[in-house]
Structure 1
Amino acid sequence: MSKTVSPDWWRGCVIYQVYPRSYQDTSGDGIGDLRGIIQRLDHIASLNVDAIWLSPFFKSPMADFGYDVSDYCDVDPMFGTLSDFDELIELAHAKGLKVIIDQVISHSSDQHAWFKESRSSRDNPKADWYVWADAKPDGTAPNNWLSIFGGPAWEWDTTRRQYYMHNFLASQPDLNFHNPDVQDAILDTVRFWLDRGVDGFRLDTVNFYVHDKLLRDNPALSLNAEDGNFMGVDAPDTNPYGFQDHLYDKSQPENIVFLQRFRALLEEYEGRTTVGEVGDGRRSLQTVAAYTNGGDKLHMCYTFDMLGAEFSAAHFRRSISNFQSVVKDGWVCWSFSNHDVERHVSRWLRDGDDPEHLARFAITMLSSFRGSICLYQGEELGLEEAEIAFEDLTDPYGIRFWPAYKGRDGCRTPMVWERNAANAGFSTAARTWLPVPERHRAHAVDQQQRVYGSVLNYYRTMLAFRKNHQALIDGDMVFIETNKDVLAFIRESADERLIVVLNLDREPQSVILPEDLVVREVLDLPGCAGGIHEGVVTLRGLDGFCGLL
C-alpha cells in the first residue's frame, strides 16, 4: 500500500475517473476490463493525478451498465476477478495512486438476492428491505413520484401485489434505508472493500438514500424557480422529472444519520475518503453543506453546477462564491465532465474556436479553482462528444428520451490509444460495445505522446504546476471584481500568495489590478501568454496569467 502522506490527502487532490467498460479491453470481447486498467496505469500516473475513481465493476445484469448491482462484494466476470482487483490496488499504490470505487447503494439490481427474497412475500426476513407500498384504492401508484429515467417511480409486483419504488429503472429497486438492517448490510459491504485496501468511495446519488416515510406527493415546481440539471439534462425541457419540486423522494434529514455511520466506519481506517454526488436542483448547495459540515459526514461532494452548457466568468464566479458562502466548513470536488454529461469541449465550443485550445484553457481554469478536481477519461486528449447513431445506442436513458435527448453514450465511447490500430488500440474485437469514433483517432495517445504542447502533455504540465503550488491545492480563494468576462482571484496558503487572471472571452482583454496588489514575479502558467505591465494584465482570448504576490 502507498504511504499516506496525510490523512487529508483528498483535500485539493486530483482524481481521474475511469469508466472500465471503455478504458482497455484485454479479453477481446469488446468491453474494457480490470486488467486493461492495470495495463494503462502508467498512463494514468503520468498525468500527475493523485487518485483513480473506478466506475462500477461489481456483478450486475448491466441494465444500467453496472449502476444496477446484483452482488456488492464481487467483480462481474465481464471485468475480471477479485484477484485482478487486488492486483490493481497493489500496483496503483506502488505508483502513488489512491483508488476510489463507486458505491451505488441507494438502489440495487432486481437480480440482487436481497430483492429476490424481499419480493417473494410480505412476511419474509427481508420483506422491508426495499420500499414497498400498497396501491391506491383505484389501483394507481402510491403517490406522484417520478423516475429520472421516465414514467412513475413505482412498479407493480404481482407476487406481493404491491408497488416498489425505483428512482431510476424499474430493474433498480430502491433500498429502504429506514430499516437499520439495510444500513448494517450496506456498511458490511463497504467494510469488505476497505479491508481490500480501497482508499475511498464515490457515492452515487448520495442524497437519494432516504425517502419520506409518509410517501407525500411532491409539489409542482414553480415556473420561476431554477431547478438544477440532473445528469446534464435540462429536465423541464426533456423530462417530466423536472416538473416537480423533489421535497419528499430524496434529501430527507434521516440521510444525515446514515452518512455519520458511514464516516464512523471510515474513521476506523487510515486516510480514507468519500466524495458524494449531489443532484438536488436549486437546493444542491444547502444539501452539500449539510452533508459535509462538522467533519463527521462526507469529506467532499460535487454538484452539477459546472457540468452544464454555461461558459462565462459570471457563471463560474457565482458557482464558486455561492459554494464558499453556503458551505462554510465543507469541501467541494469540481469537474467539467463525467460519464453522465456531454463532454465539456463540445458543450462550450463556439464557432471559430480551436477545440484543442479550449481543452487546454479548461484544465488551466479547473486546476486553479479551490477544491479537489475530478477529470474524466479522454478529456486529457481533448475528446469531443461522439455522435452515436440511434441503432448503436445502449443507454436506456437516451433510448427513452430520443431524439430530444441522445443519452450518455456519446461521452462513454472507448479510449483511443493508437491511431492506426484496430479499434484505436482499445480492443481486438470485431465489434466493441460502443463504436470507436473515427474522428477520435487523431487524438489518440500515441499521436499526442511526443508532441510538445499537445492536449495530453499540457494536462501533464498543468497538473504538475498545480501540484508544485500549495496555494492552488488548498489555499483560500478570493475574487477580484472586474467588469469583463474575466475571472480574477487570489489563491493564498500559509507560505504562498498567487494571483490568477483568466480570460473567458474569445477577444483580448486588459485588466487593471488594484493598486495594493503588486506582482513580484510572473509565473510561467503553462501554455498561457498573459503578461503584466504597470499593473495592467493583458490577455489573449481564452488566456491566463499567474503571478506571485
Structure 2
Amino acid sequence: MNTSEQEWWRGSVTYQIYPRSFLDSNGDGIGDIPGITSRLDYLADLGVDAIWLSPIFTSPMKDMGYDVSNYTDIDPSFGTLSDFDEMIAKAHKLGLKVIIDQVLSHTSDQHPYFLESRQDQTNDKADWYVWADAKPDGSPPNNWLSIFGGTGWQWEPRRKQYYLHNFLRQQPDLNFHNPDVQDWILNTVRFWLERGVDGFRLDTVNYYFHDALLRDDAADFRQKSVVDWNPYHMQYHLFSKNQPENLAFLKRFRALLGEYGATTSVGEVGESHHPIEMMGEYTTNKRLHMAYSFEMLSHSFSPKHFSKQITEFFRLAPNGWPCWAFSNHDVVRHVSRWKKHAEDPTALAKQACALLLSLEGSVCLYQGEELGQQETDLNYDELVDPQGIEFWPEDKGRDGCRTPMCWDDSRFAEFSSSMPWLPIKEQQRQQNMAKQDNDPESVLNFYRDMLAFRKQNSVLRHGNTRFIEDESALLVYTRGNTMLCVFNLSNQPISYQNTTEFNQCNKIGNTKIEGQKLVLGANGFAFLTK
C-alpha cells in the first residue's frame, strides 16, 4: 500500500451523518442504518471521501446515543449488526470510507459495568469509574462542574461515595487511570476494526483522564464582570480534563489502528483556553491522525479569525493535521450563525462551501449543509436535548441543528412516513434535496461542483497556505505556489487589485473581473491560478 492510500484521510472530505435524522426506513420516525445505506449513492455522487456516523451503539438515549450501554452492538432503533455490515459493504463498493463515533470518556449509567461498580467498594468493577469520598461536611470532593449544569459529582448511597460525570449524571466517567479500563476500551475499538470500519471520531478526546489528586479547577482568568449562562464556562479546567496521561493513551490508540492499515482517527478537542495548541499536541508524535476544535464552529466570521486558526495550527504543529468544519450536531448551523454578514443566505452558503473546501487540512461537512440548511426554530415544548431544556432560553440547545434531513417538500420531507422525532418546519422543508437536485444554481449543485474542483486540484488538499491579506473584510491567501483564493466576508462590494501573476480565473462567485482587478460583491469569492 503506497503512502497516498495509507494516508487517504490527509486532505479528505468527510460527510457527518446524524443517524436519527438522516432517513427513516421503517416508519417509526427515527432515522436508521438501512436508511443510510439507501442514500449512499447520493453521498458518493456528492463527491465526499468518507462518512462519519454519530453514535449508533446500544443506549438509553439520555444524550442521544452519547451515553453507551453496550459498545459492541447496534441500538435497536438504528437496526442490527447485519444492517451495519451491509452498509459498510455498500459504502466500500462506492469508494466511501466509514468512520464511526466512539464515546470513550464515559458510559451510560445503565452499562453493566457501572451497575456493578455502584453496588459497593469491593466488587470487580469498583475502580472502573471515578469514585471519591465526600468532604467531612458531606459536600462533593471538589468544585468540578458538569457541562450540563450543576456539580460534576453524583452521590451513590450504596457505596457512600460520589461518582464523577462531566456531562449528564447518567454519563459516569470511566477511570482511565486503571489499566484494565484502557485495555477493555481498546478491545471494543478492535471489535469495530474487525468489522471493517476505516476510522473513528473520538468524542471529547481531552476528557479521558482526570487529575488523580482531585484538585480544584481554577476560576477562568478571562472572566470579568459578566456571568456566563453556564457556570462551567467560568472555570479554567486545569484538572478535570486535559491531563498529560491522555497523550500516552492516544499513542496506544494510534498503535491499534496501525495494525489495520489505512485507518484514521479524528478527535474532538472540547477546550476553550488553548484549543489550537491542543489540536497540534494531539496530532503529533503518533497520537491522533487529525483533530478539530470549536474555533471554526463559533460566531466569529472575519478574515483575521480564519487566518489565525490556520496560521497558529501549522506554526505550533508543523507535523500535525487539522480537520476543519463550520457546522456539526452541537452548534447552530453556520448559515444562521453568520447571517448578519450576508445579504442572501444562498450566497453565504456557497461562499462558506468555497472557503471551507479551500482551507489547508481535512474537512468535515454536516448533513444538510450542502442544501444551505439553516437552524430550525423550535419551541421549548419541542425540545429533547437536555442542554436546551436546562439552559433555555439563554441557550436553546442542539435540537435546532439536528432536525431531520429534507429530501423533498412533502409533509415529512421523505425522511419518514410518520411523525419524526423532531419537527420539520417549513423553512427547512423548502431547502430540500429534490428541489435543488436539477437546479444548476442551487447550493447542492455548487457543493458538487466545488467538491469536484477540490479533487481536481491537489494543491487544495495538500498545498501550503500563505496569507496575503486579512484586513477589513477581505481574506486573501495562496495554496501552494499555483492558486490564489480571494474572499469578501461582508455584505458590501469590495475591490481587490490582483498585482500578482495569478491571471487565470478558475472559479468565481458573485465577482466580476476587470483586467487585473476583482470586484467582489457581497460574499463574493474567486479562485485564480497562474
Superposition TM-score tier, normalisation by shorter sequence: over 0.9
Q: How far off its partner does 1:158 sit?
A: 1.1
Distance 1:224 1:64, change over 3 A: closer
Give, in whole Å, the separation in 2 of the partners of 1:236 and 1:273.
40
Match for residue 527 of structure 2? 546
Please state how far the C-alpha of 1:181 moved relative to its aligned partner: 0.2
CA 1:196 to 1:351, structure 2 compared with 1: closer, same or farther past 3 Å? closer
d(CA) in 1 for partners of 2:406, 2:244: 44
Offset, 1:237: 2.4
Is the 1:4–1:271 Cα contact (8 Å) retained in structure 2? Answer: no
Q: Which residue of 1 aligns with 2:414?
A: 425
Alpha-carbon distance, 1:53 to partner: 0.3
Alpha carbons 1:530, 1:544 under 8 Å: kept: no
1:484 aligns with 2:475: no
Preserved contact between residue 530 and residue 545 of structure 1 (Cα < 8 Å): no
- Alignment check: 8 A CA contact 2:341 2:490 kept: no
Identity of aligned residues (%): 54
Alpha carbons 1:300, 1:330 under 8 Å: kept:
yes
Contact 1:531 1:545 in 2 (8 A): no
CA contact (8 A) 2:58 2:73 kept: yes
The amino acid across from 2:252 in the alignment is R
SS at match of 1:500: strand
Structure 2 residue 273 is matched with structure 1 residue 282: yes
Q: What's the counterpart of residue 487 of structure 2? A: 502
**What residue identity is the alignment partner of 1:435?**
P
- Aligned equivalents of 2:29 and 2:66: distance in 1? 19
Deviation at 1:538, TM superposition (A): 2.5
Residue 379 (structure 1) aligned with residue 372 (structure 2): no
Contact 1:236–1:242 under 8 Å retained in 2:
no
Partner of 2:115: 116
What is the RMSD of the two structures over their aligned residues, measured on CA atoms?
Answer: 1.7
Distance 2:36 2:64 in 1: 17
Counterpart residue identity of residue 315, structure 1: H
Q: Give the one of 229, 233, 252 matched to 1:261.
A: 252
Number of the residue aligned with 1:237: 228
Which residue of 2 is the match for residue 461 of structure 1? 449
- Letter of the 2:33 partner, please give it: L
Give the whole-Å Cα distance in 1 for the aligned partners of 2:141 and 2:223: 28
State the 1:511 CA deviation: 2.0
Code of the residue aligned with 2:52 in structure 1: it is W
Change (3 A) 1:11 1:501: same
**Contact residue 471 and residue 498 of structure 1 kept, 8 A:** yes
**How far apart, in 2, do the equivalents of 1:102 and 1:249 lie?**
22
The 5 A counterparts of 1:26-45 are 26-45=25-44
The amino acid of 2:522's aligned partner reads G
Identify the match of residue 306 of structure 2 among 311, 316, 338: 316
TM-score, with normalisation over the residues of structure 2?
0.97
Q: Which runs of 5+ in 1 are unaligned?
A: 226-234
Distance 2:11 2:378 in 1: 35
1:202-241 aligned within 5 A: 202-223=201-222, 237-241=228-232
The count of aligned residue pairs is 530
Alignment-derived partner of residue 63 in structure 1: 62
Q: In 1, are the aligned partners of 2:342 and 2:491 still within 8 Å (CA)?
A: no
TM-score (norm. length: structure 1):
0.94
Which whole-Å deviations, capped at 9, do the CAs of 1:18-63 have from their partners, x for residues lacking one? Answer: 0000000011110000000011111111210000000000000000
- Equivalent position SS for 1:368: coil
Cα shift at 1:530: 4.4
Deviation digits for residues 465-501 of structure 1 (CA, Å, limit 9, x no counterpart): 0111000011100100353311111101xxx611111
Q: 2:515 aligns with which of 533, 536, 540?
A: 533
For 1:202 and 1:351, the matched residues in 2 are separated by: 31
Q: CA 1:521–1:183 in structure 2 vs 1: closer, same or farther (change >3 Å)?
A: same
Instruction: Tell me what 1:231 maps to.
Output: none
Code of the residue aligned with 2:515 in structure 1: it is H
Write the distance in 1 (CA, Å) between the matches of 2:227 and 2:383: 23
Work out the CA distance in 1 between the residues paired with 2:505 and 2:338.
29
Query: Which letter does structure 1 place at the counterpart of 2:494?
Result: Q
Cα deviation for residue 5 of structure 1 reads 5.6
Contact 1:349–1:355 (CA under 8 A) maintained in structure 2 = yes
For 2:249 and 2:227, locate their aligned partners in 1 and report how far apart those are by CA, in whole Å: 31
Do the aligned partners of residues 306 and 80 (structure 1) sit closer, same or farther apart at CA in structure 2, a change above 3 Å counting?
Answer: same
CA deviations 1:498-521 (Å, max 9, x no partner) are 1111111211112234x5x31242
SS of aligned partner of 1:102: strand
Please give the residue correspondences for 1:124-523 in structure 2 after superposition, counting only pairs within 5 Å.
124-223=123-222, 237-294=228-285, 296-350=286-340, 353-420=343-410, 422-429=411-418, 431-481=419-469, 483-492=471-480, 497-513=482-498, 515=499, 517-523=500-506
Unaligned runs of 5+ in 2: none
Please report how far the alpha carbon of residue 426 of structure 1 lies from its aligned counterpart in structure 2 after TM superposition: 0.6
The 8 Å contact of residues 214 and 239 in structure 2, kept in 1 or not, is answered as: yes
How has the CA–CA distance of structure 1 residues 195 and 482 changed in structure 2, closer, same or farther, with 3 Å as cutoff?
Answer: closer
C-alpha change, 1:399 and 1:224, in structure 2 (3 Å) is closer
Query: What SS does the aligned partner of 2:469 have?
Result: coil
Tell which deviates more after alignment, 330-339 or 38-47.
38-47
CA distance in 2, matches of 1:167, 1:250: 9
Distance in 1 (CA, whole Å) between partners of 2:332 and 2:76 is 29
Q: 1:285 touches 1:327 (CA, 8 Å); kept in 2?
A: no
**2:303–2:471 Cα contact (<8 Å) kept:** no
Contact 2:342 2:348 in 1 (8 A): no
Q: Secondary structure at the match of 1:457?
A: helix
One-letter code aligned to 1:484: S
The letter of the residue matching 1:507 is Q
Counterparts of residues 84-123 of structure 1 (less than 5 Å): 84-123=83-122
Q: Distance in 2 between matches of 1:426 and 1:501?
A: 38
Structure 2 CA distance for aligned equivalents of residues 203 and 236 of structure 1:
31
Tell me the alpha carbon deviations over residues 257-279 of structure 1, each in whole angstroms, 9 at most, x when there is no partner. Answer: 10000000011011100000001
What letter corresponds to residue 246 of structure 1 in structure 2?
H
Provide closer, same or farther for how the CA distance between residues 220 and 142 of structure 1 changes in structure 2, counting only shifts above 3 A. Answer: same
**CA separation in 2, counterparts of 1:304 and 1:248?**
20
Secondary structure of 1:6's partner?
Answer: helix
Deviations 1:216-237 (A, max 9, x none): 0001112368xxxxxxxxx952
Cα 1:4/1:63, change in 2 over 3 Å: farther
The alpha carbon displacement at 1:146 in A equals 0.1
The letter for the 1-side match of 2:26 is S
